[in-house]
Chains A and B, each alone.
Chain A
């Protein structure tokens, strides 16, 4: 649906964008502030980046968070893809309603509930079977996979419904067995969705504070846990520096993902046009 934008809509759009971006821009600008008090300008400086890079605590938190995010994204993408396939391509099966419910619920479930329930789960497991011995990397990763896979599944489901079943049907008509169709046609065509699902799971994990705070153990501080413990006491210029780096990294990742998706959409459109031309 195209059409003229009224003046009212344009004003709302501009105000909305300002609302979104002014706080972020200020956050970045103040990271280059010499002054120790964040909102008081004391001239340009890279002082807080130096402070940041010298902090061993920060590096340890970054490395733990990246490790968790990587493992989480990989497993969540695998599980989420299987779940998406099951929901879109397998028709009805027993327990589908429950399965679908468990796939959607993590998207909206308040984090405190998910975090609390996973913590009591891990503690009960430890009493029953002696695992997990200590909470930290493993427990945070499992918790993250559990909610990330739901987001991946949504991405995969959207792509599966978007790309239709024409090619799969054609392959089946030409004698390919269903499993072959899956591995030779469906999975390769899912690649862009797999990549964006992986990236989504990766950033979700990097972003999570509440659930990680519940299921972590002594000494295992992820980056958000570290940031939170510092900013609870007020503004800190080194956190502004850290924020600037994180925003830059994430914006780059999102831009890559967006370009990939955009290209795929165009390729699909081309395929469709070619197919239509072939028909006529």
Chain B
């Protein structure tokens, strides 16, 4: 017995030292691994794990408990583990007209807003690319600046413009064009304005980055071969800017679908979007399982566009 305990202690002293040294050397050899591991671990813990928890809750039932849902895995008295998966929340959401209409309405609003962002953003981006060397950085700065200023305040600015007693109505009334205010705030129209206004830079910047790399000689070549400017635009420039168009559209479409602040402030109670329903479901009704299921369905709708976006991002960073 004694031999057994003393025996390993003799070589343990140098071994301990060499172990430390080995760790240090390993760290020196594998510093790349450490650099990867730190942000990787952070994202695994605080980004990926939370999604799994939401998925888990979406498969539970509402219960009077804290937190208010049933457990997925339970240890019964007999030592048997029971796993309960409840798909009721999903059938409830998918069969309920309110939720279905809200999802459809969110998609309609975000698709339409994306289209308008592209319609106005494309010529603006193209105009910046074609500007002179002095104007270009200034214009670019002018596009980036609102992107940095508070999102909430940019939405608030439109509340002042669109209100019944707001700037636009006041102006139109003082010009005698209308007799009583047009209702604009708390309508779907206001939500469109808000989304197009706040998300426009997300459309313009990727388009600009894409157009900036275009070879101007292609346009010259097309012109030399007798192509009219319009024809050149549709057959040369537009196809070459597809990656920018896709990136810009996704950058607008994906977050706009889940938008909460804009429908709440500019749409009031009149415009139902899924982000707002999700927030209210959670904070007021505290029906966690349904809120979690609403989030999972929303994520499911957006998974494909998110993956397309990642694919394009990956291709862009490899191509550089």
Contact = CB atoms under 8 A, between A and B. Distances in A.
Contacts of B144: 254, 258
A110 B145 contact: no
Most chain B CB within 10 A, of A99, A110, A240, is at A110
A260 interface: no
Contact of A108 (B38, B255, B288): B255
A93 B197 CA distance: 41
B87 interface: no
B192 interface: no
B160 A20 contact: no
Interface in A231-257: 231-232, 234-235, 239-240, 243, 246-247, 250-251, 253-255
B221 interface: no
B188 interface: no
Given A8-B123, A120-B57, 18 more contacts: A1-B216, A13-B128, A19-B200, A20-B143, A21-B142, A21-B146, A40-B170, A82-B35, A86-B36, A109-B306, A110-B254, A113-B295, A149-B39, A149-B42, A210-B279, A213-B279, A232-B265, A258-B137
21 contacts: A12-B123, A13-B124, A16-B123, A21-B146, A27-B160, A106-B47, A110-B259, A111-B260, A112-B278, A118-B50, A120-B53, A120-B54, A120-B67, A120-B292, A127-B67, A149-B42, A179-B28, A207-B151, A227-B156, A250-B150, A255-B141
Nearest to B268: A232
Given A24-B154, A203-B148, A5 B51 contact: no
A23 interface: yes
Contacts of A38: 160
Most chain A CB within 10 A, of B50, B54, B144, B158, is at B50
Contact of A93 (B36, B129, B254, B260): B36
A15 to B, nearest CB: 8
Interface of A: 1-6, 8-10, 12-13, 16-17, 19-21, 23-24, 26-27, 30, 37-40, 79-80, 82-83, 85-88, 90, 93, 95, 99-113, 116-118, 120-121, 123-124, 127, 142-143, 145-146, 149, 153, 157, 161-162, 178-179, 200, 203, 206-207, 209-210, 213-214, 224, 227-228, 231-232, 234-235, 239-240, 243, 246-247, 250-251, 253-255, 258, 262
Nearest to A38: B160
Contacts of B214: 1
B145 A251 contact: yes
B317 A157 contact: yes
Given A108-B254, A209-B152, A86 B127 contact: no
B74 to A, nearest CB: 15
A240 B255 CA distance: 26
B76 interface: no
Nearest to A126: B67
B39 A108 contact: no
Interface in B80-109: none
B264 interface: yes
Contacts of B200: 16, 19-20
Contacts of A142: 46
A158 to B, nearest CB: 8
A3 to B, nearest CB: 5
A243 to B, nearest CB: 4
Interface stretch (B9-17, B18-26, B307-315): B307-315
B40 A1 contact: no
A123 to B, nearest CB: 6
Nearest to B214: A1
A105 B54 contact: no
A121 B156 contact: no
A212 to B, nearest CB: 11
A113 B53 CA distance: 12
B261 A101 contact: no
B152 A228 contact: yes
A17 B142 contact: yes
Given A26-B167, A108-B309, A146-B42, A12 B124 contact: yes
